[in-house]
Structure 1
Amino acid sequence: MDLQNKVALVTGGGTGIGRATCFALASRGATIAVNYSRSRSDAEETVQLINNEGGRAIAIRADVAKDQNVREMVDAIVERFGTIDLLVNNASMTRHISFDDLEAATEDVWDELYDVNVKGMFFCARAVAPLMKKRKQGAIVNLGSIAGQTGLGSSLPYAVSKAAVHGLTKSLARALSPCIRVNCVVPGAVATRWWAGREEQMERLAPQLLLQHISTPEQIAHMICAVLEQEAMTGQVITVDSGQTL
């Protein structure tokens, strides 16, 4: 699929992998809706940078964990740009909890992480699906994590939520075929603000990876764009981790 003149919604698009993806899509000629929940200034800065380079982008607030918020966001994007051709389900959150502290994985933590990381991706996919089906084409990329493959990560609920994202990808690929392709990009360690306060840990990890470097948001964004473009692939969970899981 040629991304030129396509309309893309990127959730959590103001920071990290989301921001890099917005830039990468804009450089390929796509129009970008930069979703944010709390990072308004980051989202608006992302939009300004894209528009300054001759692209077309807007910032739009919505809590993806709330279905009505998502539906209203999609309606607003359609009113502005006419449709949505591409969805990058990037918005995610975590809580840093020791794995052996099961009591710290409270009901509230489970609900919060599942609402954003899993239900939020489903709500966004459901909201854009009729638009894509009407045009008989569309592509969705969900952001997973190697935590969902290895069972390790910032917390037990986070790892489980990302395993659910991988499963959601396969189920949505079946549910939305043949018009809409749904795939999942699974990063390993990426140099984003999630490492804030743990930079030394990141520096210790890098030499242990087969490629001996932590992935950048731009590298993950490049893969997301490649997956969106690939018309012969759906239901795939693709790992990009510098060899971390081997």
Structure 2
Amino acid sequence: MDINGSVAVITGGGTGIGAAVAEHLAGKGAATVIVNYSRSAAEAEATVARLEGLGCKAEAMAADVSDDAAVRRMAARVRAAHGRVDVLVCNAGTTTWVPFPDLEGLTGEVWREIMGVNLMGPFHCARAFAPDLRAARGAIVNVSSIAGLLPTGSSIAYGVSKAALIQLTRDLAVALGPEVRVNAVAPGIVATRWHIGRMGEQVFSEMAAREEAKAPLKRTARPEDVAQMIVALLESDLVTGEVLVGDGGRHLTY
């Protein structure tokens, strides 16, 4: 896929990994980037301003990806305004921090919220944008996690949602082929407010240092690293249904 001139939709695009992906795509010559957000309106508008400074048309669009009707309205709006969609990056995610032994902490509400955003959200988006992606022979990249491959992460529900997203990626690769390629990335810990905001800078730094000490590359990911992985998958025309792990090789030493 040639990113130059493309129209991209990035869910959770206002902050962290999503914002880094948006800037990478703008740097590659994307014509238009739709920055989806649910609660981070100010951050999404700031991302739009940065993209416009890079010469890329950009627009912030609010939609809760767990709400199918809201996603369909967003897809209709993008279709009416831009006429095509080449790229869909499903990055929006949520979690609740529950220690693994605390099974009672995994309430029905926790499960519904996490699965609604992390699993149903990408499905809603893939379904709503499928006609546009098929017409453009486009590509989808889902943002999963190393927690979808190993028993780690913020909670059991989070890990299960990311494991299910990996399987959804494979299934959609079959369902949407040959016109649309569907892949996923599975980062380890990433230096974003997702982690830092919940742990605090000191606790996060200590955890990152422990992980880096065990990783063959002796480093953990930045949002820009994950964005690089996503763009690589978008540009890999013979790759579909795959999961690209990016954790400095930490998964090799568990």
TM-score normalized by structure 1? 0.97
Whole-Å separation in 2 of the counterparts to 1:132 and 1:116 = 21
Cα RMSD (Å): 0.9
Whole-Å separation in 2 of the counterparts to 1:244 and 1:126 = 34
Hey, what does 1:189 align to over in structure 2? 189
Hey, what does 1:105 align to over in structure 2? 106
**Number of equivalenced pairs:** 245
Whole-Å separation in 1 of the counterparts to 2:70 and 2:104 = 32
Written as runs of structure 1 = structure 2, the 5 A alignment for 1:48-63 is: 48-63=49-64
Whole-Å separation in 2 of the counterparts to 1:192 and 1:208 = 20
Amino acid at match of 1:222: Q
Whole-Å separation in 2 of the counterparts to 1:106 and 1:244 = 31
Amino acid at match of 2:117: V
Query: Shift in Å at residue 133 of structure 1?
Result: 1.9
Residues 151 and 160, structure 1, Cα contact 8 Å, conserved in 2? no
TM-score normalized by structure 2? 0.94
Whole-Å separation in 1 of the counterparts to 2:246 and 2:64 = 27
Q: What SS does structure 1 have at the residue aligned with 2:251?
A: coil
Hey, what does 1:224 align to over in structure 2? 230
Amino acid at match of 1:108: E
Written as runs of structure 1 = structure 2, the 5 A alignment for 1:163-242 is: 163-196=163-196, 197=200, 198-199=203-204, 200-242=206-248
Query: Shift in Å at residue 195 of structure 1?
Result: 2.0
Residues 146 and 188, structure 1, Cα contact 8 Å, conserved in 2? yes
Whole-Å separation in 1 of the counterparts to 2:181 and 2:150 = 26
Query: Shift in Å at residue 106 of structure 1?
Result: 0.3
Q: Is 1:75 paired with 2:76?
A: yes
Amino acid at match of 1:206: E
Hey, what does 2:43 align to over in structure 1? 42
Whole-Å separation in 1 of the counterparts to 2:11 and 2:181 = 18
Task: Report which stretch shifted further, 151-160 or 189-198.
Answer: 189-198
Query: Shift in Å at residue 216 of structure 1?
Result: 0.8
Whole-Å separation in 2 of the counterparts to 1:138 and 1:194 = 29
Amino acid at match of 1:216: R
Residues 206 and 214, structure 1, Cα contact 8 Å, conserved in 2? yes
Hey, what does 1:133 align to over in structure 2? 134
Q: Which 5+ residue runs of structure 2 have no aligned equivalent? A: none
Amino acid at match of 2:55: G
Residues 144 and 184, structure 2, Cα contact 8 Å, conserved in 1? yes
Q: Which 5+ residue runs of structure 1 have no aligned equivalent? A: none
Written as runs of structure 1 = structure 2, the 5 A alignment for 1:7-18 is: 7-18=7-18
Residues 195 and 202, structure 1, Cα contact 8 Å, conserved in 2? no
Hey, what does 1:25 align to over in structure 2? 25
Q: What SS does structure 2 have at the residue aligned with 1:150?
A: coil
Hey, what does 1:88 align to over in structure 2? 89
Query: Shift in Å at residue 151 of structure 1?
Result: 1.8
Amino acid at match of 1:205: E
Query: Shift in Å at residue 132 of structure 1?
Result: 1.9
Hey, what does 1:3 align to over in structure 2? 3
Q: What SS does structure 2 have at the residue aligned with 1:179?
A: coil
Amino acid at match of 2:113: E
Whole-Å separation in 1 of the counterparts to 2:167 and 2:9 = 22
